[in-house]
Chain A
Amino acid sequence: MDLKLSAAPARGRKTGESTEGRHRLRNRLIRHYQLYLMLLPCIVFFIIFSYIPMGGLILAFKDYQFNQGIFGSPWVGLTYFEMFFQDPLSLQIIKNTLIISAMKVFLAMPFPILLALMFHEIKRKKMQSLFQGIAYLPHFLSWVIVIGLVQRVLAPDTGLVNQVIAWLGGDGSTFFLMEERAFYPVLFWSYIWKDIGWSSIIYFAAIVGINPALYEAAKIDGAGRLQNIWHITLPGIRPTILIVFILSLGNILSAGFDQVYLLKTPGNMNLSEILDTYIIYMGLESGQFGFGTALGMMQGVIGLILVLTVNWISRKWFETSIW
């Protein structure tokens, strides 16, 4: 009896809390309805183009039949995952993917930060805009054009690099793109060249958002430029760096199809076969949609686990996280 009596107010409190919460939410919605209205198209966009298509992931466990559609096709369990891991190429493909992704996520990360810091140090606005414009431009070129340029610059005999080597007394006939050892450097630096400017925007915006009073105070204390950067700018943009890093981990198993596919030559075939190219070959070109979906799903799930884990670590250690 006592128990009942004591339990009743608890339930009433819970109900009261949730009713109060709903009220608060409704009030917030009414008060900020303009903002929520602006948000609505984005929510609709993500529901239509990101969440509803996720239903297609079911294909990873089904033998897709043209006449029965995704939901009517028979279940095959984990067959496609088994198929992939039984393929002798699978370990090589995962290794290649991880190396290229790691280069892009970890090695490439400091470059846009450095560029943003450099932009911030340019005091003349016009010069700053000019350099920013120049740095952003390559992002708008397609990989086809960028790799075309790379091919011409690195061409044997006639390419700029080989011409310089020959001018310096070297051989000048090296076919860089056919050499395995040149694959990673070419891939990395072409990626940096194309994306460094664009990636620096978010860091630059974060730097601009730092309170100028901090720099003024540091100046009074006699801090130099490098000390400003080390003690004010970098700590100021640390949350941004962490969030960009966490989000980029979601793509750890997507090494970037376009660039790798275009740079692929028989000479670097052992390094350039990645999950994205494998999915296209086995999934789409061979019409094995279930198999392709299973691998795509694996990329996404591993990316999600990494994002969640690192987000948790970041929240615990650095008090910065996506949510």
Chain B
Amino acid sequence: MNKKTWSKMILLVLICSMVLTACAGNQQSQGTSDASGDKVKPDGKPATWIADRKIKGLIFMGSDVVEEMNPEVMKKLKEMTGIELELQATGFDSSQKALAAGLAAGDLPDFIGYYLNHSGRPEMEMINKAAREGMFYDLAPYLKNTKIYSKYFEDGYLPIDTKYGVMFRPEFNGAAYVVHINLTREPGYGVNKYVTGPYIRKDIADALGVDPRKITTTEQLYELVKKIKAGGFKDNNGKGVYPIGPIIWGGGDRPSLYNDLVWSGFNGEGFKRDASGKILHESQTEYGLKRVEFVQKLLKEGLMHPEYYTMEETRAKEGILNNSFAIIGEMHNYVDENKDNRYIPIGPINSVDGPYQMQLTYKSGYGAWSIPKTTENPEDIVKLADFLASREGKLLWEYGLEGRDYDLDAKGNPVPKKEVLDLLEKDPVSAKKLGFGGVGNSWGWYLGGTDFYDLEDFGEAGFGANQKPDQNKGPLEIAKYWSYDEKRSQAKVKDGYAALAFIGEFSKGSQLTMALDKYKESIIRAYYAKNMTEAKTILDAAAKQLQTAGLEDYIKLLEEKDKDPKTQLLF
């Protein structure tokens, strides 16, 4: 071969290797560039650039909000988008009251965030009132021009309530003053296998030779707790246990302990259809009284903790840690207090319709944001929200900084650093200061927490799940014990409106809301009544108050709404 041929050969090899390198590195570099925003616009700014400005947000979510930002993470956000983000929390125990006060004051920053799980939540009516009075921007035109939020306009992406109840309400003719967040990309997507309900101490169940999964009725539960009482079981301090202790989150009346005696409806609001298809509230059925009779029996025979409905969370948890309760009224398998699985699930108890069936909503939102009319260039905030909802945005606020908090694997997925995971385990407070969602500071969620599919985006169910597969070993063992997957496969998935979603447009809405609250309080009062006659008097008075507050008319409204496919009910 002459020199010319050699030169051509070398040139060919060089070209081939360059092409191969480019191809081979394509997948990885995509992740890298996504993470760091290395793609550049013609003017030298990264492709993720929005504007050089400061954006302030006021979040009405009480103590859930972390105001403190990590300077390095914020610097990265600034580099990528030009935005300096500042979050303010209302620091108020009741986010609803704070929102009311905030709207009334009118002095709002660039955007506001608030709780909103469905359109029946009280915040919705306040926001609607503000929107009607021209306080917020219509965000629909801006959202249409985004990468992620534009999915909200695709058929089937939004659940019915989010679409017609929260975002594109018919009264606003296509305008969107509220942006609902925390939606999943796929219907029914969930990474955790929650098993919620009453739990029993495993050693007690074993000692009595009982399989808790076979306790499916309140009669069986009653027989079980009588055996527990007779068994004389002790707690860690050598004191006798209470057969039934309160729910882990402190006093409250939740249906799972006596589900076959609760006219709970699809999501526990107390409205449900009877066998003939007629909508009834629990006050119009015998179930309230039946439940009262059951609870009175438990209380009078010393089978239930007398402070079951009022105990503070700290005392309830202390009792659980001391094993002072044989049965916990309600908890789930991911709570820290049961990491060793010494409590195992009971039942589930049947519903009033028969054997238990898991019920899931198609998708459901959790929070929302709006932009006040006083904000300049609202499109910048929408763009920021869209960036934070994208994979690269989520990578920043869920996983932190590449190199400092995580590395990328060959597929471009983040792998949290061991030292970060160790710090999170040993000192969660210090870890939180690193300033991203994986360590407990989800600052990006308030605008960009939507279109979730971490398994697809990051190859793992949650931050560090792949590196610590044992992290959820206990909960998953319980899920397996409870046959979660089987129950999940047979679940009833429904889409529609909650029963109280229309309370805001009901003329006696405030009175009815108050009467519904009073009914719940009356039920608890009846549990502690001297006898069933007194209990019946209490419940009759509560039912009468509901009638006066317009319960019948509200049910008629629900029937009307259900006829329209755009406002169909969940039940």
Contact = CB atoms under 8 A, between A and B. Distances in A.
B16 to A, nearest CB: 67
B518 A156 contact: no
A66 interface: yes
A114 B410 CA distance: 82
Nearest to A59: B104
Contact of B133 (A65, A87, A280, A285): A65
A272 to B, nearest CB: 10
Contacts of B130: 66
B505 to A, nearest CB: 14
A165 B379 CA distance: 68
A66 B309 contact: no
Interface in A3-24: none
B548 interface: yes
B442 interface: no
Contacts of A173: 302, 306
Contacts of B104: 64, 66, 287, 289
A266 B524 contact: yes
B133 A66 contact: yes
A269 interface: yes
Interface string B513-547: 11000100111110010000000000000000100
Contacts of B310: 177-178, 265
B201 to A, nearest CB: 20
B101 A88 contact: no
B514 A67 contact: no
A64 B100 CA distance: 12
Contacts of A64: 104
Contact of B306 (A87, A175, A266, A280): A175
B97 A284 contact: yes
Contacts of A67: 133-135
Contacts of B510: 282, 286, 288
A256 interface: no
A190 B96 CA distance: 30
A88 B548 contact: yes
A286 B125 CA distance: 9
A274 interface: no
B518 A269 contact: yes
Contacts of B135: 66-67
Interface in A281-310: 281-282, 284-289
Contacts of A177: 310
Interface string B110-152: 0000000000001001100110011100000000000000000
Given A64-B104, A269-B518, A156 B307 contact: yes
25 contacts: A64-B104, A66-B135, A67-B133, A67-B134, A173-B302, A173-B306, A177-B310, A178-B306, A178-B310, A266-B523, A267-B524, A267-B525, A269-B521, A269-B522, A281-B514, A282-B510, A284-B100, A284-B101, A285-B100, A286-B100, A286-B510, A286-B513, A287-B100, A287-B126, A289-B104
Top 8 closest pairs, chain A to chain B, by CB: A266-B524, A156-B306, A266-B521, A67-B133, A266-B525, A287-B100, A287-B126, A178-B528
Given A266-B523, A269-B518, A269-B521, 20 more contacts: A66-B104, A66-B129, A66-B130, A66-B133, A66-B135, A89-B545, A155-B307, A156-B306, A157-B306, A173-B306, A178-B528, A179-B528, A266-B522, A266-B528, A267-B524, A286-B122, A286-B510, A287-B122, A288-B510, A289-B100
